[in-house]
Every structure is written in C-alpha cells, then in structure tokens.
Amino acid sequence: MANPLRPALLAAARSARAERSITRMPVTRRIVDRFVAGDSRDAALAAVRDLVRRNRFVTIDYLGEDTHDPAQAERVAGEYLRLIGELAQLPLEVGERGPRPLEVSVKLSALGQALPDDGHAVALRNARTIAESAAAAGIWMTVDAEDHTTTESTHAIVRELRREHPETVGTVLQAYLRRTEADCRAFAAEGARIRLCKGAYSEPESVAFRRKREVDESYLRCLRILMRGSGYPMVATHDPAMIEAAALLATAVPRGGTDFEFQMLYGIRPAEQERLIGLGQHLRVYVPFGDQWYGYFVRRLAERPANLMFFLRAAAPE
C-alpha cells in the first residue's frame, strides 16, 4: 500500500522545525535504533563485524546531508578516511577478483555539493580523497543518489572518479526518475557498478514517476538493462516482486548468482536477507551511523505505513 502521508513526511525530512520536535521526543531514539547502527564509528564497526560474521556484505554510510559549511564537508570526508582505515584492519578473506565485502556509501551533499559557487568542485575534491583511500584499501565506494537537482553534478563527479578508480567506484540510480532508463543504458555500457533503487525523495511529476505501478515498471525496465549490461548490478529493494524478478532475469540473461547482488537497509527484512544468503546469493546491508540521523530516519517512516504506525503507537501517550 502506498503511504498517503509520504509527501508530508518527505517535507518534514527537510524541515528544521519538524527535526527539533521529532528528535526531542523521548521515544524516537528507541525506534531510530532499529534503522541506525549507532552514533559512533565504534558502534558501526561492531554492527559491521556482526553482519560480516553472518555472511553479509556491508556498505557503511556516515549520516549527514545538505552541508552548507566547507569545514563540515571536510570533517565528513575525514570521518570517512578514519572509517576506511579501521575497515581495512578487519580480518577478512578477500579474493583478487569479485565483489568486495566492504563498501562505503557517500552522499555528495554531505561533502559540500550544495555550497554556493564552488559546491561541485568542493564535493569532487572531498569525494576524490575518499575514493583514493578506499581504492588503496581494496574497499568499494558508492555515491548515493539524492534529489533530482543534484543528479547532473553527481553523475559528472562519478564519471570523473570512475576514470581514476574504475574498479572500485560505483553509483546509485533511482528508478522513479524518468531519465534513469537512459542513465542505466549509459552506465551499463560503461561496465559500471550500479545500485538500482526506487528512489526516496519527494520529486515533481515533471521529472519522476509518482504512481507505485509506474515506478515498479520503470524498476523492472532498468533491471533488465543492467542485468544485460557489462557492469555489476546491485539490486537495492525490499520488494518481493522486484527480488523475484531480479532472480529470474539473472537466470535468463544468464548471469551467475554471484555476478550481481541484492542490497537491503539495516534493520529491514532480516528474514528475507537470511533466505537470500541461504540460496547462495550475495546480500549487502546498508549500515548508516552517526548522530545526523534525522533525514534518513524520516525517509524510512515515509516509505512504509507500518514503520510510521510503529512510531506513532510508541509515541502515543498511554
């Protein structure tokens, strides 16, 4: 079922006033903990160790977005460098080829993309530092997709980074954007590693499909292109219909069960994660951490009425 409150919640995800109210509610923290691995790098690393022990791949996101301060953007980049340094110490058996079990996910808006005048250049500079460090450590780096006003700049930065680190840098495409089918064709032809998701922001009809059926149809068209392409598809969804379609497509193409991977968010559908691993599929968990969890958390509430109801029930007075 589509969430009728989705537009209001996505607006709240960007509202400082709503942020003040929601983050001050005593109950919020307990529910945030279902979706966020903790405030600190140590908490995230503990979650990562546990997931890796249970045969999951991981991608780690240091939460934060929409930075309007160059010093803050550098601090975010610094936190990623420290994270990569610690991830590189984890005892893991990693083959020369094939998917990397460890990945970091970065949001360019946290690295300065929204700064006036030179935001694109600042984000590129910070992202390049992270990409270099990740490549040296044999860790993948994936550039997250944010709202559509950032897409052109994000793809330009991704292409620049992929020229320097074609094996380790990948990005995210959002099936709800009308442009994405063409983007899938271009990136698939370049052999890129692409995470396909439905899209989590509030977008106008002019650039995005808004009805669930249209978004799902677009997702399936994009999936077909990526599966037939020469890159590495990362199927990021909790939707049983999309998961089944991906498995069928991979068999039909044919693409081996380990020539693509499924991805899910931390705390969501753990039983389905276990089932896919039991089938011998690669499954990567997106692990967010940090104290700037507000926007991420509210987007999760917007996605699913059940998440929202759980929050509202917990928040209601006895």
Q: Which residues are annotated as catalytic?
A: 144, 195
CA 35 → CA 19, 84, 158, distances in Å?
17, 22, 27
Answer yes or no whether residue 131 interacts with ligand FDA by CB under 6 A.
Answer: no
In the complex, what is the shortest distance from the CB of residue 97 to ligand FDA, in angstroms, rounded to a whole number?
23
Residues in contact with ligand FDA, shown as a per-residue x/- string from 187 to 216 under the rule CB under 6 A: --------x-xxxxx---------------
Answer yes or no whether residue 239 interacts with ligand FDA by CB under 6 A.
Answer: yes
Answer yes or no whether residue 263 interacts with ligand FDA by CB under 6 A.
Answer: yes
In the complex, what is the shortest distance from the CB of residue 281 to ligand FDA, in angstroms, rounded to a whole number?
14
The residues that bridge with 282 in the sheet, in sequence order, are 261
Answer yes or no whether residue 268 interacts with ligand FDA by CB under 6 A.
Answer: yes
Answer yes or no whether residue 218 interacts with ligand FDA by CB under 6 A.
Answer: no
| Comparison of 168 and 237: residue with beta carbon closer to ligand FDA | 237
Answer yes or no whether residue 6 interacts with ligand FDA by CB under 6 A.
Answer: no
Contacts of 115 (CB under 8 A, 6+ apart): 67, 68, 70, 73, 122
Q: Which of 240, 254, 256, 270 binds ligand FDA (CB under 6 A)?
A: 240
Answer yes or no whether residue 261 interacts with ligand FDA by CB under 6 A.
Answer: no
Nearest CA to 82 among 46, 130, 38?
130
Answer yes or no whether residue 111 interacts with ligand FDA by CB under 6 A.
Answer: no
Q: In the numeric block, which tokens belong to residue 251?
A: 């068999």
Answer yes or no whether residue 303 interacts with ligand FDA by CB under 6 A.
Answer: yes
Return residues touching ligand FDA (CB under 6 A). 144-145, 172, 174, 195, 197-201, 236-240, 242, 263-265, 268-269, 286, 303-304
